[in-house]
């Protein structure tokens, strides 16, 4: 670690800009080679600066989780946004109306009720709001079952005024529980199959959808193998994190995010305390590795417990870490870490180059 | 729920101001009746407005976890602050130097190294910085063992120039794993014993400490039974939360914080999705109840899983909740919820009365 980074006030979240750029390019090239559109999910970075770089490198638009994130990105001039989340309720529909004046907004929905609200809005605005129907491909979160159940709903929605069914989407987030490349491939295939089966069933109703949108970071890597997919929506590839590193989806050199923390206590021979707790690292865990983050320079250390401001780290007997030392931590889950911080520190070759504003931090609404 | 609250854009974090005031008064009265000082931990609310009300009701000062929280509170005019956290490193000592010009700052430490840094700072400022020595009473986080080990360290620290050993502190956070009042009492007694044993051992070295500071919300309720304690530092009593409600430490009428969320999807007969995920509720769990929060109006519902923006709720067959409905959630852990939000909505008798700024949100440094 350079002296400049060691002198950082901690805890601090740093992003290696060379690694970031390489990650952005790799996934852009992957999408391009596969002949699919890239619509990255910006929840990972929530930063207009990084989103614009993704667009410069060929992304067709961006994906966000919430209306408030879309507002933050539209305010920065981003013009094509998928809100991959049902917009429900009068307050949100009113905000969406304002947003449609400044950006092309597509909304992901999985119910007739949500579609009906958007239909009424579209009619009142005299537009047709593009919708993606969310299909369950195994995460068991939103979405009806693929095939007949989803197609029946899709056909009803396609018949509504004020909206049009622009695509089908799915997200197989349960891929993060898997360990091998082969398992990831199977889940990518399941994503594709869920969407394509539903697309075929929709044709029986005379409904043709344009976009077939899949993907998480691990499954999108198989885009080139999957005929019929038109768009991928990976997010976490931007920073990399433990959830990708531990099962071997990426290597350590692809982990662009590091949290720098200071050893503030060494109360027992086998324990040090670092100043990064759940307010810095989150309590997100990984099925692939115990603890709340990974110390690449001290691979035997385990962040066993977190309080809000304390990381309680079990260390081997010969661990040289002392009070005042700085450690780097690769977080289990980069997206939730970003949401805890107003800005990230952009570093290049060990030097601080710029601050990265987390423009959409905390935009849960 | 009133129509006004139902019309809130969601997810929203609301605080019932009558309940808040009652909670503040009850704990002030408890401390007063026990003859101990109250130095509440403001990490729960991170709000200068609430901290000032705590002081108006008799608190002797406040406790914070980090220097950045102290800076935010001092900027609001709060003059007596315990930073219950080791201040380590040049960057932080420099900030502390500035802070000592505007407020009386006490620092909690548990190592000679941290004390030596503060000693150097105190000498350079020509002051004696008051320190509390943190003693382990069973949480196994910071602090040496009570008695001889802590006293030996305390005596060394007391001999340093530029600092003075003003007190002993402990925090038995593991009380939240306990279920019965009797178990909480035992841990409160263990807190007192850890401190008083250490105090007695310190006297052998000729060192007398003034403050004997204990407490979490559950253990501080036994302050009146514990001779020798001079100060309590509860935090979460302000809002109440599931961690206190589930084991019966408080009743539902003492839970001042509610998260309002909207049902945005009902993808399967036994499942609804609410728009409050880990970015709203945190992934903090409780040993006393499954799930990520409690729906007081639907006690059989279980928030089984969280994504960042989705709460996946298992509901019984006869659950009347439909897409668009609003639900109230009591969070498992109020302190970490506060840290995710820039402001809380102050409500009284079902009406929105004021916004409560979370002044020290995200101040991890």
DSSP codes joined into one string, A194-208 = HHHHHHHHHHHTT--
Partner-chain residue, chosen from B11, B283, B309, that has the shortest CB–CB distance to A284: B283
Q: Residue B272 belongs to a domain with what CATH number? A: 2.40.37.20
Q: Are A298 and A325 in contact (CB under 8 A)?
A: no
A5 inside 8 A of chain B by CB:
no
Of the residues A218, A238, A258, the one at which a domain ends: A238
Mark yes or no for CB contact B280/A364 under 8 Å: yes
Contacts with B336 from chain A: Cβ below 8 Å: 278-279, 308
For the stretch B83-97, pLDDT in tens is 999 999 999 999 999
- Which of B40-62 are b and which e, b meaning 16 or more Cβ less than 10 Å from the residue's Cβ? bbbbbbbbbebbbbbbebebbbb
DSSP codes joined into one string, B81-99 = EEE-S---SHHHHHHHHHH
Same domain? For A174 and A301 the reply is no
A43 inside 8 A of chain B by CB:
yes
In this prediction, residue A215 carries a pLDDT of 85
Q: Are B80 and B62 in contact (CB under 8 A)?
A: yes
- Which of A73-107 are b and which e, b meaning 16 or more Cβ less than 10 Å from the residue's Cβ? bbeeebebbbbbbbbbbeebbebbeebbeebebbb
For the stretch A118-142, pLDDT in tens is 999 999 999 999 999 999 999 999 9
Same domain? For B65 and B7 the reply is no
Residue B226: DSSP 8-state: -
Of the residues B215, B239, B263, the one at which a domain ends: B239
A17: phi then psi, degrees, rounded to nearest 5? -70, -30
**What gap in Å lies between CA B108 and CA A212, rounded to an integer?**
57
Same domain? For B85 and B199 the reply is yes
Å from B194 to nearest chain A CA?
Answer: 15
Nearest-5° angle of CA A231, CA A16, CA A220? 20
Q: Output the six-digit token pair for A174.
A: 């349960």
Q: Which helix (H) or strand (E) holds A266?
A: strand A257-268
In this prediction, residue A361 carries a pLDDT of 97
Q: Are B352 and B4 in contact (CB under 8 A)?
A: yes
Is residue B188 domain-resident?
Answer: yes
Is residue B31 domain-resident?
Answer: yes
A94 inside 8 A of chain B by CB:
no
Same domain? For A210 and A267 the reply is no
Is residue B327 domain-resident?
Answer: yes
DSSP-derived 3-state class of residue A227: coil
A108 inside 8 A of chain B by CB:
no
Contacts with A339 from chain B: Cβ below 8 Å: 279, 308, 340
**What gap in Å lies between CA B203 and CA A58, rounded to an integer?**
71
Same domain? For A254 and A231 the reply is no
pLDDT by 10s per residue, chain A, length 365: 566 777 789 999 999 999 999 999 999 999 999 999 999 999 999 999 999 999 999 999 999 999 999 999 999 999 999 999 999 999 999 999 999 999 999 999 999 999 999 999 999 999 999 999 999 999 999 999 999 999 999 999 999 999 999 999 999 999 998 888 899 999 999 999 999 999 999 999 999 999 999 989 999 999 889 999 999 999 999 999 999 999 999 999 999 999 999 999 999 999 999 999 999 999 999 999 999 999 999 999 999 999 999 999 999 999 999 999 999 999 999 999 999 999 999 999 989 999 999 999 999 99
**What gap in Å lies between CA A40 and CA A60, rounded to an integer?**
9
List the helix and strand counts (H, then E) for chain B: 12, 16
Mark yes or no for CB contact A91/B9 under 8 Å: yes
State the CB neighbour count (10 A cutoff) for residue A156. 15
Same domain? For A283 and A207 the reply is no
Q: Give the total number of structural domains in chain B.
A: 2
Partner-chain residue, chosen from B267, B324, B339, that has the shortest CB–CB distance to A279: B339
Residue B328: which domain range? 3-13+248-357
Is residue A364 domain-resident?
Answer: no
Q: Output the six-digit token pair for B310.
A: 């989705």
Q: Which of A125, A81, A127, A84 is nearest to A105 (CA)?
A: A81
Contacts with B133 from chain A: Cβ below 8 Å: none
Whole-angstrom CA distances from B135 to B145, B212, B214 are: 6, 11, 10
Is residue B364 domain-resident?
Answer: no
**What gap in Å lies between CA A224 and CA A226, rounded to an integer?**
6
**What gap in Å lies between CA B234 and CA B213, rounded to an integer?**
11
Mark yes or no for CB contact B336/A308 under 8 Å: yes
Same domain? For A262 and A225 the reply is no
Helix runs in chain B, H state only? 3-6, 17-34, 48-56, 67-75, 90-99, 112-125, 148-158, 181-204, 217-220, 242-245, 278-281, 334-338
Q: Are B307 and B277 in contact (CB under 8 A)?
A: yes
Which residues contact residue A126 at a Cβ distance below 8 angstroms, ignoring those fewer than 6 apart?
Answer: none
Interstrand relation of B343-348 and B351-357 (parallel, antiparallel or unpaired):
antiparallel
Residues in a beta bridge with B114: none
Whole-angstrom CA distances from A17 to A331, A335, A339, A359, B164 are: 17, 17, 19, 18, 45
Q: Are B186 and B195 in contact (CB under 8 A)?
A: no
Mark yes or no for CB contact A141/B310 under 8 Å: yes
**What gap in Å lies between CA B31 and CA B37, rounded to an integer?**
6
Same domain? For A177 and A274 the reply is no
Contacts with A313 from chain B: Cβ below 8 Å: none
Same domain? For B221 and B297 the reply is no
Same domain? For A86 and A228 the reply is yes
How would you classify residue B125: left for phi > 0, otherwise alpha for psi between -120 and 50, otherwise beta?
A: alpha
Mark yes or no for CB contact B88/A263 under 8 Å: yes
Q: Which of A264, A321, A326, A261 is nearest to B107 (CA)?
A: A264
Residue A289: DSSP 8-state: B
End-to-end CA distance of chain B: 39
Which residues contact residue A3 at a Cβ distance below 8 angstroms, ignoring those fewer than 6 apart?
Answer: none
Q: Are B270 and B282 in contact (CB under 8 A)?
A: no
**What gap in Å lies between CA B245 and CA B127, rounded to an integer?**
44
Q: Are B223 and B175 in contact (CB under 8 A)?
A: no
Is residue B93 domain-resident?
Answer: yes
Mark yes or no for CB contact A9/B275 under 8 Å: no
Which residues contact residue A56 at a Cβ distance below 8 angstroms, ignoring those fewer than 6 apart?
Answer: none
Q: Which helix (H) or strand (E) holds B271?
A: strand B271-274
A141 inside 8 A of chain B by CB:
yes
**Burial class of A204 by CB neighbour count within 10 A (0 to 12, 13 to 18, 19+):** exposed
Whole-angstrom CA distances from B115 to A189, B89, B231, B277, B288 are: 58, 11, 22, 41, 38
Å from B265 to nearest chain A CA?
Answer: 7
**Residue ranges in chain B modelled with pLDDT below 70:** 1-3
Q: Are B266 and B356 in contact (CB under 8 A)?
A: no
Of the residues B205, B239, B273, the one at which a domain ends: B239
Nearest-5° angle of CA B346, CA B280, CA B28? 45
For the stretch A216-239, pLDDT in tens is 999 999 988 999 999 999 999 999
Residue B66: DSSP 8-state: S
Same domain? For B130 and B275 the reply is no
End-to-end CA distance of chain A: 39
Is residue B260 domain-resident?
Answer: yes
- Top residue of A46, A108, A117, A264 to mutate, by most chain B CBs within 10 Å, is A264
**What gap in Å lies between CA A83 and CA B256, rounded to an integer?**
33
Helix runs in A209-254, H state only? 217-220, 242-245
Which residues contact residue A299 at a Cβ distance below 8 angstroms, ignoring those fewer than 6 apart?
Answer: none
Q: Residue A62 belongs to a domain with what CATH number? A: 3.20.20.10
Q: Output the six-digit token pair for A203.
A: 């044709």
**What chain B residue is nearest to A277 in terms of C-alpha separation?**
B364
Contacts with B260 from chain A: Cβ below 8 Å: none
In this prediction, residue B215 carries a pLDDT of 85
| Number of residues in chain B | 365
Same domain? For A256 and A352 the reply is yes
Contacts with A286 from chain B: Cβ below 8 Å: none
């Amino acid at each position: 670690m350079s002296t400049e980074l060691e002198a950082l006030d901690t805890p601090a979240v740093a992003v290696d800009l060379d690694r970031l750029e390489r990650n952005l390019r790799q996934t852009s090239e992957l999408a391009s080679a596969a002949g699919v559109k890239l619509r990255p999910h910006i929840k990972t970075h929530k930063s207009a600066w990084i989103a614009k770089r993704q667009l410069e490198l060929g992304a067709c638009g961006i994906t966000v989780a919430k209306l408030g994130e879309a507002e933050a990105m539209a305010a920065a001039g981003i013009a094509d946004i998928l809100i991959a989340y049902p917009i429900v309720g009068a307050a949100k529909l009113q905000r969406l109306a304002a947003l449609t004046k400044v950006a092309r907004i597509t909304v992901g929905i999985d119910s007739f009720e949500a579609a009906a609200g958007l239909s009424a809005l579209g009619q009142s605005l005299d537009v047709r709001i593009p919708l993606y129907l969310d299909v369950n491909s195994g995460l068991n979160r939103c979405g009806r079952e693929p095939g007949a159940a989803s197609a029946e709903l899709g056909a009803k929605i396609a018949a509504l005024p004020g909206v049009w069914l622009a695509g089908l989407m799915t997200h197989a987030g349960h891929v993060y529980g898997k360990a091998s490349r082969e398992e990831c491939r199977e889940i990518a295939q399941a994503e594709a199959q869920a969407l394509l089966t539903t697309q075929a069933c929709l044709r029986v109703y005379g409904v043709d959808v344009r976009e077939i949108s899949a993907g998480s970071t691990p499954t999108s890597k198989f885009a080139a193998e999957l005929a019929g997919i038109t768009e991928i929506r990976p997010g976490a590839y931007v920073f990399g994190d433990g959830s990708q590193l531990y099962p071997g989806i990426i290597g350590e050199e692809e982990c662009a995010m590091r949290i720098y923390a200071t050893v503030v206590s060494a109360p027992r021979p086998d324990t040090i305390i670092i100043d990064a707790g759940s307010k810095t690292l989150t309590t997100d865990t990984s099925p692939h590795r115990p603890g709340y983050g990974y110390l690449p320079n001290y691979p035997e250390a385990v962040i066993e417990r977190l309080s809000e401001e304390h990381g309680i780290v079990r260390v081997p007997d010969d661990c040289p870490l002392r009070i005042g030392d700085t450690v780097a931590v690769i977080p289990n889950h980069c997206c939730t870490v970003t949401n805890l911080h107003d800005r990230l520190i952009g570093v290049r070759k060990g030097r601080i180059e710029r601050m990265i504003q987390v423009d959409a931090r905390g935009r849960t609404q």
